[in-house]
Amino acid sequence: MGADNPVLFFRARNPLSGAIQDLVVKHLREDTTAADAPAREFGMLESLHGHPLLRGQGADVPRPLARWDDLRTLVMERAPGRRLPDVLRRDNRLGSPAAKRRLADLMDQCGACLRALHQIGQLDAAFVLDDRQGPLNDLAFRLRGAIDKSRRQGLFEDGAQREMNRLIDTAIAELAGRRVTRVRAHGDYYLGNLLSDGRTLWLIDFGFSRPGLIHHDLSRFLLSLRTINPYPENLLYDFAAPGVFRQRFLSAYFGDSAQPAQQDRLLLSLFSLSALLYHYLRRARLHADGAIGARLYLRLLRPVYRRLLRQTLTELRTSLSDSAARRVSQRSGRRPRR
């Protein structure tokens, strides 16, 4: 199967029970993953397989069977079911309310499953953000690099670049010193790494798992909802439904109100901007130097990404505005000094 990290499927007979098993052999390439990625992915699978918190949400991960670090190769049981992008492309149709209710329930399950995953992998519930080192500084560095590369790939003009850098600087200064939860993140929690067999939601591909903030996984999933391509499978795809799916996902993760805390909203806006820019850059690498048809496809995609970029920047501005209003409210509510 073509992927960043090659995956091979096998069907084998268990020598002890005689049962037929479907297996996955995954090779983690040196140029796409860190040196310890095989050990990290295998360790995540070992710690999560059959975990009661995941089982409580109707979810699980494939059972790991073996690994060879010198070959950067893992063996695990194959997860059954269909990938969620295929489920959404087929079932999210205009005039299919029952199917969309089932999909909304599935988004609930995805949010609750991610929350359980972060609870299992919680490292520090009061991690202090530092704008000079750690995840906040790394995020700012990645954002500025992605903005510069996206400008060179024709996504936006210099004025937009200056505006984004200004918003990022303001947000980073606002977040410095805040306390957040640090977890063992999935690293690539998006629709394509989730499978459903009608009963169980299966999580796969932990090759990019690492300590980080919850907002990386959240933004990755939300972006995959916004950038799904339903054609040619479904000409009646309901493009309004993903807004409902987003709310159901966030509601299941954060609570019934689906309204994250102010600093979570701000971080989610920044991580969403980073995810969107890197998603565009990945597409640009695939098509910018291709044949005429590939370059034309990229040119047609740019207005779509520009619209998504405007929406994400609006969310970031709103988060910053709410944060400023909150500070004013706090100051006005203080007792005057005696």
What lies within 8 Å, CB to CB, of 55 at 6+ separation is: none
- Average confidence (pLDDT) over 86-99: 94
Residue pair 264/315 in contact (Cβ under 8 Å)? The answer is no
Question: What's the per-residue H, E or C state across 16-52?
Answer: CCCCEEEEEEEECCCCCCCCCHHHHHHHHHHHHCCCH
Query: Would the pLDDT of 157 be above 80?
Result: no
User: What's the pTM?
Assistant: 0.92
pLDDT of 193 strictly over 90: yes
pLDDT at 2 over 70: no
Give the C-alpha separation, 183 to 210, whole Å.
8
Distance CA 206, CA 43 (A): 9
> How many of the other CB atoms lie within 10 Å of CB of 153?
18
Element containing residue 140 per DSSP (H, E) = helix 135-152
Structure tokens at 266: 């701000």
Domain annotation for the chain: domains and CATH numbers: 81-332 (3.90.1200.10)
Phi, psi of 201 (to 5 degrees): -95, 120
What sign does the CA torsion over 170, 172, 177, 181 have? positive
What distances in angstroms separate CA 28 from CA 42, 69, 70, 206, 320, one per listed residue? 11, 10, 11, 11, 39
* 30: nearest Cα among 79, 78, 73, 77: 73
| pLDDT digits 0-9 by tens, 235-287 | 999 999 999 999 999 999 998 666 688 899 999 999 999 999 999 999 888 88
Rounded to 5°, the CA angle 150-154-155 comes to: 60
pLDDT value, residue 333? 65
Assess contact for 121 and 270: CB atoms under 8 A.
no
pLDDT for residue 338 is more than 50? no
What pLDDT, on the 0 to 100 scale, is given for residue 336? 46
Please tell me the predicted confidence (pLDDT) of residue 288: 75
Beta carbons within 10 angstroms of residue 310's beta carbon: 12
pLDDT of residue 256: 67
Q: Per-residue pLDDT for 307 more than 50?
A: yes
Between helix 262-287 and helix 292-332 the angle, nearest 10°, is 170
Backbone φ and ψ of 87, nearest 5°: -65, -45
